[in-house]
């Protein structure tokens, strides 16, 4: 849960400049997508780990994001695909810094190589310690956004 909150906070911060709230919401879904796909395939589908790992690879996420983008109206599909893929890639960047006890989880060269990569900057369980700062980032950005909107409404032009 803490890991998902940290991913959401990163998407919240990264997608803040987007003016369209619908597009921001799609980025939020995209940033959660790799973990949701991985755990769904592993636990609900009973797939072996080797079949689940491509959900944490840049090329492996493309067909999933494309399939999900087809659920949107035709005018929105291209934007939805870009937002889902962008959110998913943000997730991969954050997971790249994790330590998976030397085994790695990000398959950067999939399908050309099944070698997993990790930087090992922080342990997976350290996401619990990042949870409060992530909530702080969300609160600070939301407060700043509201103050800017209030100032624009007070002083138009």
pLDDT in tens, 70-79: 999 999 999 9
Question: With the C-alpha atoms ordered 1, 57, 97, 26, is the resulting torsion angle positive or negative?
Answer: negative
- The three-class DSSP label of residue 157 is coil
Its pTM stands at 0.80
Q: Which pLDDT score, from 0 to 100, does residue 157 have?
A: 59
CB atoms within 10 A of CB 56: 24
DSSP character at residue 45: S
In order of 11, 42, 139, the CA distances from 65 in angstroms are 16, 19, 29
Spell out the residues 6+ positions from residue 150 whose beta carbon is closer than 8 angstroms to its own.
none
Q: What stretches in the chain show pLDDT beneath 70?
A: 1-2, 101-103, 156-157
């Amino acid at each position: 849960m803490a890991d998902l909150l940290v991913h959401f906070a990163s998407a919240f911060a990264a997608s803040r400049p987007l003016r369209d709230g619908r597009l921001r919401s799609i980025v939020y879904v995209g940033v959660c997508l790799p973990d949701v796909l991985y755990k769904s395939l592993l636990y609900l589908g009973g797939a072996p780990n080797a079949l689940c790992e491509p959900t944490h690879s840049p090329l492996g996420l493309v067909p999933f994001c494309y399939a999900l983008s087809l659920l949107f109206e035709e005018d929105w599909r291209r934007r939805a695909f870009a937002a889902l893929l962008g959110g998913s890639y943000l997730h991969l960047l954050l997971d790249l810094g994790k330590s998976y006890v030397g085994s790695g989880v990000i398959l950067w060269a999939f399908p050309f190589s099944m070698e997993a990569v990790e930087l090992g900057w922080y342990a997976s369980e350290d996401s619990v310690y990042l949870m409060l700062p992530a909530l702080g980032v969300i609160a600070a950005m939301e407060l700043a956004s509201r103050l800017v909107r209030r100032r624009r409404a007070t002083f138009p032009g």
